[in-house]
Amino acid sequence: MSGLLAVVLASLAWLAHAQAAEVSVAVAANFTAPMQNIAQAFEHDTGHKAVLSFGATGAFYAQIKNAAPFQVLLAADDVAPAKIESEGLGVAGSRFTYARGKLVLWSKRPALVDDKGTILRSGKFERIAVANPKLAPYGAAAIETMTKMGVLADVQPKIVQGNNIAQTYQFIATENAQLGFVALSQVISDGKILQGSAWIVPEHLHAPIRQDAVLLTTGKDNLAAAALLTFLKGEKARAVIRSYGYEL
């Protein structure tokens, strides 16, 4: 009986391996750390592998328009996925919001940024890092925030622009800029700012950062693509997303 059971288990393991697939995923740079964790759990639980590429949502949109071989897009906004779906590049009805992001003004230096962001009005800094607002939704939210605060004209000459939110973070982390706007997920762990000082920007200062996922038409027949989107809606993935400061 034990020998038969071993054969059955081996056969099931082989079958699971044979059905395992890969999915190519374009991931907004702000979601790098949580998605790396989610991808590991996804592979462990399903056998499927998510091959991840990280970058700016606007750049991914342009690449997808030019037939880049991605099968799933996890964007930093809800605009690009909606356009992709309406243009026939995404599977109709597959789009959903997987997270709602939070913008933060962050400095590696303790006490430089206060809890109301008044340093933006004082201008007591040499450089401030902001992601390219044409490509990165968090960059657009940063510009909108400074516009509503009435400080953009004064701050503009001091802006150092990153191609995406990951490069923007690096400018601040290396202190090439004294402070800058990044995603809360990049500087938080277990509900606490990892280092330095920060101001979590109130949502009334910018449009909500709804981050949408969409199944691309190139992935409509890919088992791993469908499984990943289902996994993102599950409690295991949602727990990871919450731990990085996102709302659901």
pLDDT tens-place values along the chain, 248 residues long: 455 555 444 444 444 444 689 999 999 999 999 999 999 999 999 999 999 999 999 999 999 999 999 999 999 999 999 999 999 999 999 999 999 999 999 999 999 999 899 999 999 999 999 999 999 999 999 999 999 999 999 999 999 999 999 999 999 999 999 999 999 999 987 778 889 999 999 999 999 999 999 999 999 999 999 999 999 999 999 999 999 999 98
DSSP 3-state of 220: coil
Q: pTM for this structure? A: 0.83
Q: Which two tokens stand for residue 248?
A: 């659901």
What is the gyration radius of the CA atoms in the chain, in angstroms?
20
102-205 shares the fold of 21-100+210-243:
yes
Please report the pLDDT score of residue 3 as a whole number. Answer: 58
Domains of the chain by residue range: 21-100+210-243, 102-205
Q: Does domain 102-205 have CATH number 3.40.190.10?
A: yes
Residue 169 neighbours by CB distance under 10 Å: 23
Beta strands in 139-208, from DSSP E residues, in sequence order: 159-162, 179-183, 188-189, 192-193, 197-200
CA proximity to 34, closest of 224, 188, 194, 172: 188
Q: Residue 236: CB partners within 8 Å, gap ≥ 6? A: 41, 45
Ramachandran category for residue 190: left, alpha or beta (phi over 0 → left; psi -120 to 50 → alpha): left
Query: How many CA atoms lie less than 13 Å away from 233 in the CB half-sphere?
Result: 11
192 alpha-carbon distance from chain centroid? 19
Write the Ramachandran bin of 67: left for phi over 0, alpha for psi from -120 to 50, otherwise beta.
Answer: left
CATH code of the domain occupying 21-100+210-243 = 3.40.190.10
* 16 vs 175: CA distance, rounded Å: 48
Check residue 2 and give its pLDDT: 52
Q: How far apart are CA 29 and CA 162, in angstroms?
A: 12
Instruction: Give the CA dihedral 106, 112, 114, 119, nearest 10 degrees.
Output: -90
